[in-house]
Amino acid sequence: MQLDPSALLEIVLRIAAAMIVFLIGRWLARRARKALRVALGKTTVGPSMVRLLLLTVYYGILVTTVIVALALLGFSLTLSLGALFIILILLGIALQQSISNLAATVIFLIFQPFRSGELIDANGVQGTVSEIQLFSTVLVAGDNKVITIPNSKIQNDTLINLTRAGRLRVDFVFSVSYTDDLRKVKAVLHEILATDERVLAEPAPLIFVQTLAENSVNIAVQPWVKSEDYTPIQRDIPEQVKLRFDAEGITIPFPQRDIHLHGRDAAE
């Protein structure tokens, strides 16, 4: 069976046109990705958002090119779009968790509840944000451990940003004996805070009796510091307080309990 020369020519032309369209589309995708990378490099958009936008543009153009090429080959446009839709659904089911993480990433990059370089507490882990990746966020903890948390878990849990406000209140509680002079104790604590340059003058630190406990008077000390001083001052102030209390003769009491023994009657 011989093919009609005109039909054969039409097939060849269709294949050639599809190949040309595909090559042009691939070239456009690369050029668009390159141009977009240059444009985004002049903005403050984070690296993860840049990668996401580049991937979206590149593969979006390629998919459109393939559909047009298939249409030139004689495939039904409706059939091609339907097949693409089915493939996307199957990928969505197979990659459900990944898509959930990606969706959380997009939300983070749009609304920016945290940024690279900020100190956050997420999923019970505290660390500085090193990078917001497409599916996870990388934190560097205080002990320099690198911790990777899926973004969907961060989105579904409580997130605490310790940097965004610029200043934080540090809460200490120090216990002293009931026999100590309360005015002297508060004066010593005020002096310790006043001599520490990290403690902000405004808002003024608070020092007050928090509770009258069973074995001690518990005094709350609440200074305000810059975000970057939040962790260091938690290490330093307790040691300073202990040394000053020892020098001033202020007692940090141990838990104690008085036990009274009652002897039996002599007749028994």
- List, for residues 1-22, the tens digit of each pLDDT value: 555 677 677 777 778 888 888 8
Judged against a pLDDT cut of 60, whether residue 267 lies above it is answered with: no
Q: Please report the pLDDT score of residue 65 as a whole number.
A: 86
Q: Of 171, 181, 168, which is closest to residue 221 (Cα–Cα)?
A: 171
Assigned fold of 114-161: SH3 type barrels. (2.30.30)
Instruction: Determine the pLDDT at residue 99.
Output: 76
Q: Which amino acid is at 192?
A: I
pLDDT tens digits along 146-205: 999 999 999 999 999 999 989 999 999 999 999 999 999 999 999 999 999 999 999 999
Overall average pLDDT of the 121-141 stretch: 90
Q: What CATH code is assigned to 5-94?
A: 1.10.287
pLDDT one-digit tens code per residue, 45-55:
667 667 777 88
Contact 250, 179 (CB under 8 A): no
Q: Do domains 5-94 and 114-161 have the same CATH topology?
A: no
pLDDT at res. 171? 96
With contact defined as beta carbons under 8 Å apart, do 69 and 22 qualify?
Answer: yes
* pLDDT in the model for residue 266: 45
How many other CB atoms sit within 10 Å of the CB of residue 29?
19
Instruction: Specify the pLDDT at position 264.
Output: 58
- The residue extents of the domains of the chain are 5-94, 114-161, 167-248
Which pLDDT score, from 0 to 100, does residue 37 have? Answer: 85
Give the pLDDT mean for 85-94.
65
* 72 against 252, higher pLDDT: 252
Task: Tell me the per-residue pLDDT of 192-234, one tens digit each, with 9 for 90 and over.
Answer: 999 999 999 999 999 999 999 988 999 999 999 999 899 899 9
DSSP string, 105-126: HHHHHHH-SS-TT-EEEETTEE
- pLDDT of the residue at 205: 95
Q: Which is more confident, 180 or 268?
A: 180
What pLDDT score does 223 carry?
96
Architecture of domain 167-248: 2-Layer Sandwich (3.30)
| Pairwise pLDDT comparison (257 vs 168), residue with the higher score | 168
CA dist 254 and 267 (Å) reads: 40
Confidence of residue 42 (pLDDT cuts 50, 70, 90): confident
Mean pLDDT of the chain: 85
**Between residues 70 and 194, the one the model is more confident about:** 194
Angle at 144 between CA 143 and CA 145, to 5 degrees: 95
Q: What is the pLDDT of residue 242?
A: 95
